[in-house]
A and B are shown apart, each in its own frame.
Chain A
Amino acid sequence: MKAFNFFLVFLVLSACSSNLDFDQAKQLDIQPVFEGDILYFDLHDVNLTDQSGNFRNVIKDTVDFGIFEDGKVRDGFVKADIEVAYNNTFNRHFTTIYYFIDDNDQPVESGQFDIAAADANNPEINGDVIFRFDKTSNPDFVNFRKIVLEIMISPDTLPVENKTLHVQTKGTFYTNLTLD
């Protein structure tokens, strides 16, 4: 009986703990990678001509991109892979340029690629392009706030057929974040 009492009292009073280092928990460095869709489009024959029916050599569009407005995101950004996939059935060659522009409408980065024209032997042209942007090599990349997409259409005497150019774009963003 006495032994039992002693045992219990001993156990409770002798509670011990391994050393713990609470200071290390003040900061946590993590490297999450985020991946998601950015934009896509389908060009049809009507997009290649203006309202008057004149052929458009260049078509353009702009989309805001506000992720880097947050200072913590800018600080934590490491690099990005922008992946573009396309499918062209037009008998036209396209030169596509992605401009990453800042608030002053100045490009901080760009990426260009060509899309070959389809023909009877290759009625469908598929391709995939990846642009890699690294903050180390271009610290200004995080200043981009808009993406301007410019598509130059090669002049040709061939009639514009009822075909499509489909382009899709996703981004993979590598980060290094410090949580306080």
Chain B
Amino acid sequence: MKRLSFLFIFLISLSLHAQFDAISYDFTPNANVLQTNPGAAYPYQKLFGIPLLNNIKLFAGNSGFTLYDVLAPGTSFEQKVQQTVSHLSDTDFIQLQYRQDLFTYGWTDDLERFKYLGLYWEFNHITYVPGSFLKLGLYGNAAYLNNRFDLSYLASKTEIVQTLYYGVNKNPNPRLHFGYRLKLYSGLANAQSVGNTGQFYTTNGQNNFYLHHLNNLNVELQTSGYHANADSNYYISKLFFSGNYGPGIDIGLTYKLSDNITWSAALLDLGFIYYTKDIHSHYIKGNYQYEGVNLQFPEQSYMDYWKNIKDTFKEKIRNKDDNSNYISWRPTQFYTSIKLGLGNHKKQTCENFLNPITKSTNFIGLTGFAQKQPVKIHFGLSAFYAQEWSKHLYTKFNVTADNFSYYALGGGLVLNLGQLQLSLIVDNLLGLSDLAKSRKQAIQFGLNFVK
């Protein structure tokens, strides 16, 4: 066993998209909780996130295999690759995310509404690794002549996005918290191949052994942000005015069903970016069938069969550059949670000394998650236990089932040192014992001044 700060290597060695933030969702003592539910029961009046050091999040996940599966020492590499590929489904994927707040500032207005604004940037990547295509590459088509290879599983999306936001969190009545956050996205770079369609497959032929089909092919790669002759100044200027903008909104609410039971829900990143700058895209579209060369036995002339086949292929399958503007939808996420308060304690302060309020300090609950991704909607479910140890220390433990694991244990800690708040969230704690065998790891760090 090697002891090393392997986390970093692990994260960058995989090729980063918003994933299930089960621990940070509705973890209300965390000053950054409005990032996952703008309608959370926010307990603070003022907020100042330490610039560049707040809300730093790193996530890497691989739904189909671990690094150890393919890179373990000993048995042959070929065997490990074959065994790994044999277990992959067409919807397995690799996902990476890096996110960092540039600044966050929040205040409470005269109407007791908490308002906040900020700027963050994120790098997201998701690539599907469809097992059927990998098997085709490893073993060839001979063993899969009856299979249909669905090109919709060929999907990938990488983006660097900067988001400027302004949010409002209100408490219109004692049972309800409601909030929204308006966003202006600025797309610094994007490369995506999503929404592809088409199949290729082989059937028994009439004229020859087989009939090979390319059916309803529509595959497109869209990119924005790369400029061949640009220098670093060009890209620095893009940091602030990318030219690729789009609107977005987050909305959320928390409703107290009873003294002990609270329900919440949030819809995040409902929006898009309209890419207009430095666009280089390419598409392949059409239908084609092939059954071999049909010999004609001409008496005199030579027939260039392959030229005919190539010409027909080019005519049927259009393969072109397309530099028109395009829309990239944000990976919209939906969260919902039900929370049960346990261990009610009378909370007595100078202000309510004669009539102390009842407050739970321990909570259990369930959080559900859904996110729209290029090939399918990703779901997750998490059970949690949260505890307020004192007004200085809060913890939360989650056991999460999602695309990566059925039982990932995660933990969160919020520590208030006067007005300075430090938060640390680590997902898949058990994975830390052997990162090479872990399918996902996430770490999130927050540093805020709160009041």
Contact = CB atoms under 8 A, between A and B. Distances in A.
Interface string A13-44: 01111111110110111111111111111110
Given A12-B432, A18-B1, A170-B208, A39 B294 contact: yes
B142 A41 contact: no
Contacts of A11: 411, 426, 429, 432
Nearest to B80: A24
A174 to B, nearest CB: 9
A147 B144 CA distance: 27
Nearest to B433: A16
A169 interface: yes
Contact of B208 (A15, A19, A40, A149): A40
Contacts of B192: none
Given A15-B7, A18-B437, A19-B2, A64 B73 contact: no
Which one of B5, B208, B303, B390 has the highest number of Cβ atoms from chain A below 10 Å of its Cβ?
B208
B292 A18 contact: no
A36 B292 CA distance: 8
B207 A33 contact: no
A51 interface: yes
A60 interface: yes
Given A18-B68, A61-B296, A170-B209, A28 B78 contact: yes
Contacts of B7: 15
Contacts of A40: 207-208, 291-295
A1 B142 contact: no
B71 A25 contact: yes
A135 B295 CA distance: 27
A22 B7 CA distance: 16
B209 A32 contact: no
B435 interface: yes
Given A20-B71, A33-B140, A170-B208, A38 B432 contact: no
B298 interface: yes
Contact of A16 (B6, B140, B296, B298): B6
Nearest to A10: B432
Which one of A14, A19, A33 has the highest number of Cβ atoms from chain B below 10 Å of its Cβ?
A19
A47 interface: yes
B143 interface: yes
B112 interface: no
A6 B293 CA distance: 72
B439 to A, nearest CB: 14
Nearest to A39: B293
A51 B145 CA distance: 42
Contacts of B52: none
Contact of A21 (B3, B72, B142, B298): B72
B77 to A, nearest CB: 4
A16 B434 CA distance: 5
B205 interface: yes
A40 B209 CA distance: 9
Contact of B413 (A5, A18, A47, A149): A5
A165 to B, nearest CB: 11
A73 interface: no
Contact of B209 (A12, A62, A83): A83
20 contacts: A5-B413, A8-B413, A11-B426, A11-B429, A16-B434, A17-B436, A19-B436, A20-B68, A20-B71, A24-B71, A24-B73, A30-B137, A32-B138, A33-B139, A36-B292, A37-B290, A37-B291, A61-B296, A63-B306, A175-B140
Given A16-B434, A38-B293, A66-B306, 9 more contacts: A14-B3, A19-B73, A20-B67, A27-B77, A29-B78, A36-B141, A41-B295, A51-B299, A64-B306
Interface of A: 1, 4-5, 8, 11-12, 14-22, 24-25, 27-43, 47, 50-51, 59-64, 66, 83, 85, 149, 168-170, 172, 175
9 cross-chain pairs, A with B, having the tightest CB-CB distances, nearest first: A32-B140, A37-B292, A41-B295, A33-B142, A35-B142, A20-B71, A33-B140, A24-B77, A39-B293
